[in-house]
Amino acid sequence: MQKVAVVGCGAAGLCVLRHLTIPRKKDLLSSDPIRFEVVAFEQAPEIGGTWVYSPETGYDAYGLPVHTSIYKNLRTNLPKDVMCFPDFPYKPELPSFLHHSDVCAYLKDYAQHFNLHKYIKLQTKVEAVEAVPSSDGLLNNSVKWRVTYQNLSKKTSSNLAVKNDEANMISDVFDALIICNGHYSVPFIPEIQGKELFQGIVIHSHDYREPEMFADKTVVCLGARSSGIDISIELTSHANKVFLSHRGQPLQCEFPENLFEKPGIRELTSDGVVFEDGDFHQIDTLILCTGYKIDFPFLHENVGVQTEHNRVTPLYKHLIHIDFPNMAFMGLCLNVTPLPLFHIQASFVKAVLTGKISLPTADEMRKDEEEDFDERLRNGMAQHYAHMLGDKQWSYNNELATICGCELLPKYFEDIYEFVKVKRSKFPATYKEMNIDFPFED
């Protein structure tokens, strides 16, 4: 019996729980199926991770940074057909592009269906994780993991500000550890010349909740990935004027008439912005849609994990700790269909922990990791996109599935993803009104 700790109960953590606690049919037929004793830690009062919406920003009732980056009107930019675990579809009556509350409800249905709540410690914050040396005093493949945590519900007003409330700390040792704490909660704040001079409002998209507060304002959204485009379009219904500022190629799409695309920001002044084309505009608000930092504040240095430039190393296939294969990091990959990918990754992790598959040597895994990273650099990708998959997600999913012996994702996942990607690039303001039917009709 392996004792496994799971940190975080958003979509990735729930998926891991489901795979480690629900035996497959072929395992049930085995005379000695390998089982796990699993404990999952979730610091929020409920499961769902970033999909648990809160109108609040800043800090929560326990003095912790608000985790969610979901805004009030957010709808998924992927349809329900691919925004699901392959073995657990959404209710058919829901629209193709889901409101965030539908996704949160779906995750709770998933947990209830697979009876996962009994493994979860809610309102429980992991404070520290450290590697426990083996009996010979060395950190090797037989390392275990000491997890120190505290029950937040026992914190009182007198100790709320105390980061490490010693009287409330509990430590336990586990045979394996799976990190599922997400990577959309710690904002990346870029350096911008003149930012200290600007007299208007500056917020990160992490703290954006609704467009009404920007009524009659002139707003710049910096960054043109999913959140930047979605928020800038939503703002046009209330703001006087919106600038979408970014350094990429001009977007070939239809925008609302009061949304203007501009290059990056050269500098801020007391009352405005100078873009890199030299144009100056007076503005009231700057919203930084500049992404997030990957952060594992609870990891001890002896875990040996680095997160420089948002690249987590040393990891095999963006997932397995190369030096300690009984540790995994779920869901680091970017620009993917997340829930199907979690399903494949969880299957792979389970196969590693049960010994069903044998990993390459540490040197071979390290070589694989470096070759993947070097190829990205040769193709002109920035270092902070080390875990970006995009079109490579399908070969990645198939490779993991083939190695661990789980079913491949149906081909329609890729077909729908590619179909929607084209529609989203051409019609960012209206594509979510589509209802996806397979086979597709333009």
pLDDT in tens, 43-55: 999 999 999 999 9
**Total number of domains constituting the chain:** 2
Q: Is 417 helix (H, G, I), strand (E, B) or coil?
A: helix
Lowest mean pLDDT among 10-19, 21-30, 271-280, 372-381: 21-30
Same domain, 284 and 298: no
Cβ atoms 354, 176 nearer than 8 A: no
Tokens of 387: 């875990």
Amino acid at 205: S
Q: What is the pLDDT of residue 1?
A: 86
Is residue 438 in some structural domain?
A: no
CA gap 273, 220 in Å, rounded? 9
Is residue 92 in some structural domain?
A: yes
Q: What is the pLDDT of residue 416?
A: 95
Same domain, 12 and 85: yes
Q: What is the pLDDT of residue 28?
A: 46
Is residue 376 in some structural domain?
A: yes
Mean pLDDT of all residues belonging to the chain: 93
Q: What is the pLDDT of residue 271?
A: 97
From 251, 266, 288, the end of a domain falls on 288
Q: Burial, 306: exposed, middle or buried (Cβ in 10 Å; 0-12, 13-18, 19+)?
A: exposed
- Indicate whether 313 pLDDT > 50: yes
Task: Band the pLDDT of 40: cuts 50, 70, 90.
Answer: very high
Is residue 137 in some structural domain?
A: yes
> How much of the chain is helix, strand and coil, in % rounded to 5?
30, 20, 50
Q: Is 356 helix (H, G, I), strand (E, B) or coil?
A: coil
Judged by phi (left if over 0) then psi (alpha if -120 to 50, else beta), residue 48 lies in: left
Same domain, 158 and 181: yes
Is residue 218 in some structural domain?
A: yes
- Indicate whether 86 pLDDT > 80: yes
- Indicate whether 32 pLDDT > 50: no
Query: Average pLDDT, stretch 104-121?
Result: 98
Q: What is the pLDDT of residue 24?
A: 59
Task: Band the pLDDT of 23: cuts 50, 70, 90.
Answer: confident
Same domain, 179 and 217: no
Q: In Å, how far are 316, 378, 384, 419, 439 from 381, measured between CA atoms?
A: 19, 7, 8, 24, 34
From 288, 318, 334, the end of a domain falls on 288
- Indicate whether 167 pLDDT > 80: no
Is residue 149 in some structural domain?
A: yes
Same domain, 33 and 176: yes
Same domain, 344 and 381: yes
Q: What pTM value is reported for the model?
A: 0.93
Query: Considering only CA atoms, which of 366, 363, 295 is closest in space to residue 329?
Result: 295
Same domain, 30 and 108: yes
Same domain, 84 and 210: no
Is residue 380 in some structural domain?
A: yes
Q: What is the pLDDT of residue 442?
A: 45
Query: Average pLDDT, stretch 297-313?
Result: 96
Query: Considering only CA atoms, which of 148, 176, 173, 131 is closest in space to residue 4?
Result: 176
Same domain, 227 and 354: no
Query: Average pLDDT, stretch 328-339?
Result: 97
Cβ atoms 45, 123 nearer than 8 A: yes
Same domain, 151 and 236: no
pLDDT in tens, 47-77: 999 999 999 999 999 999 999 999 999 999 9
156 vs 370, which has greater pLDDT? 370
Q: What is the pLDDT of residue 140?
A: 63
Give me the phi and psi of 193, to 5 degrees please: -60, 130
CA gap 165, 108 in Å, rounded? 31
Q: Is 321 helix (H, G, I), strand (E, B) or coil?
A: strand
Same domain, 297 and 315: yes
pLDDT in tens, 396-435: 999 999 999 999 999 999 999 999 999 999 999 999 999 9
Q: Is 198 helix (H, G, I), strand (E, B) or coil?
A: coil
Cβ atoms 212, 196 nearer than 8 A: no
Same domain, 26 and 147: yes
Tokens of 299: 């990891």
CATH number at residue 228: 3.50.50.60
Query: Considering only CA atoms, which of 209, 173, 204 is closest in space to residue 289?
Result: 204
- Indicate whether 391 pLDDT > 60: yes
Cβ atoms 319, 349 nearer than 8 A: yes
Q: What is the pLDDT of residue 34?
A: 58
The whole domain housing 264 covers 201-288
Query: Considering only CA atoms, which of 280, 275, 278 is closest in space to residue 262?
Result: 275
From 246, 268, 288, the end of a domain falls on 288
> How, if at all, do strands 320-321 and 315-316 pair?
antiparallel
Q: For tokens 């954006």, what's the residue?
A: 208
Q: What is the pLDDT of residue 165?
A: 67
Is residue 248 in some structural domain?
A: yes
Tokens of 51: 């999909």
pLDDT > 70: percent of the chain? 92
